[in-house]
């Protein structure tokens, strides 16, 4: 998450008691801290997929603790096909997300044309709080970075959108990159 944001993603996840769901809809994200691993993957096709590595360990620890508390962590990705190099890179590391305790599904964009989804990626915590993620066109963080909304009508729209995507999406183990 954006280090400049006053909102703290970790605190929101740690406060969750039932669910944390993530809807991703971009085909490219800025690589930031991942740049070395992404460049190596582009050269060699090998991705850091060690849950204990310096890159993954904090995420694996955070998600594992949430799952151990009974929080259901789900991630749905809407992707264009053929996928971008960045999505291929994400796919190559997703087994670590699953290892940590996330359920991950993929939905080709062409299968989402009749779904109404929010304009930004987001996290929903316990069906009560939505954390919108703001990015530039190139996939870098854009001010304000994160925006927390608790308006019940907005939360319901986002929950409904996520559940519609989730119902249609393919489990990670079944999704083959095109």
Read off the pLDDT of residues 130-140 as tens digits, 9 standing for 90 and up: 999 999 999 99
- What is the mean pLDDT of the segment spanning 138-163? 96
Predicted structure pTM score: 0.94
Domain-wise residue ranges, the chain: 9-174
Average pLDDT over residues 28-54: 91
Confidence of residue 178 (pLDDT cuts 50, 70, 90): confident
The answer to whether residue 3 scores a pLDDT higher than 50 is no
Pairing of strands 72-79, 102-108: parallel
- Say if residue 5's pLDDT is above 90: no
pLDDT at 33: 77
> What's the confidence (pLDDT) of residue 18?
98
Average per-residue pLDDT for the chain? 94
For domain 9-174, the CATH architecture is 2-Layer Sandwich (3.30)
Residue 103 has pLDDT above 60, yes or no: yes
Average pLDDT of 9-33? 95
Percent of the chain with pLDDT over 70: 96
- pLDDT over 70 (residue 35): yes
**Which phi and psi (to 5°) does residue 12 adopt?**
-65, -45
CB contact at 8 A, 37 and 48: yes
**pLDDT recorded at residue 139:** 92
Could you give the CA distance from residue 139 to residue 29 in angstroms, rounded to a whole number? Answer: 4
Can you state the percent helix, strand and coil of the chain, rounding each to 5? 40, 25, 35
Who has greater pLDDT, 126 or 32?
126
Q: What is the pLDDT of residue 1?
A: 39
**pLDDT band at 6, cuts 50/70/90?**
low
pLDDT surpasses 70 at 123 = yes
């Amino acid at each position: 998450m954006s280090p400049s944001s006053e909102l703290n993603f970790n605190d929101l996840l740690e406060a969750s008691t039932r669910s944390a769901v993530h809807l991703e809809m971009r085909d490219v994200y800025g690589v930031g801290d991942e740049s070395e691993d992404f460049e190596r993957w582009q050269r060699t096709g090998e991705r850091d997929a060690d849950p204990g590595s310096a890159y993954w360990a904090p995420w694996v620890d955070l998600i594992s603790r949430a799952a151990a508390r009974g929080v259901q962590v789900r991630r749905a990705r809407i992707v264009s096909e053929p996928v971008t190099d960045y999505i291929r890179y994400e796919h190559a590391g997703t087994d670590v997300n699953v290892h940590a305790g996330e359920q991950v599904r993929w939905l080709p964009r062409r299968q989402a044309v009749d779904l109404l989804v929010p304009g930004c990626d987001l996290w929903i915590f316990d069906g009560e709080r939505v954390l919108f993620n703001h990015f530039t066109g190139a996939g870098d963080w854009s001010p304000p970075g994160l925006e927390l909304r608790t308006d019940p009508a907005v939360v319901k729209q986002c929950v409904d959108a996520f559940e519609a995507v989730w119902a249609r999406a393919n489990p990670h183990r079944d999704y083959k990159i095109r």
